[in-house]
Amino acid sequence: MESANTKLCDRKESPALSNRQVRRPDLSLYEIDDELLIYDETSGDTHRLNGTARFIWDRCDGTRDHGAIAADLADVYDVSPSEAKTHVERFMASLQAQRLFMTAD
């Protein structure tokens, strides 16, 4: 499912290579209170995101880079900007490794 503007993230690709991600459109999403359950039919994997992870996930629309998402996180959850950046980078790397994003070019 590649286009001229997006491609599936390669497991070998470093998160630093792309700082804007787009959620894969073929994932099934189920809301459970403030959490989100993600089912990947391709791999058969299920992922459950808590409220904070969902906050980050919801902002992965290709228009925001990691810095913008971290700034939002710091504002809403009252954490330091450096702590927010660390959380965003770790989360993005984890879900990128699981191929749940398409990279925005």
Could you report the per-residue pLDDT of 67-93, keeping only the tens digit for each?
999 999 999 998 999 999 999 999 999
CB-based contact 96:16 (threshold 8 Å)? no
What's the CA angle centered on 14, arms 9 and 17, to 5 degrees?
A: 85
Q: Where are the domains of the chain?
A: 6-104
Residues (pLDDT < 50) of the chain are: 1-17
Tally Cβ neighbours within 10 Å of residue 61.
Answer: 12
**What is the fold, at CATH topology level, of the domain defined by 6-104?**
Outer Surface Protein A; domain 3 (3.90.930)
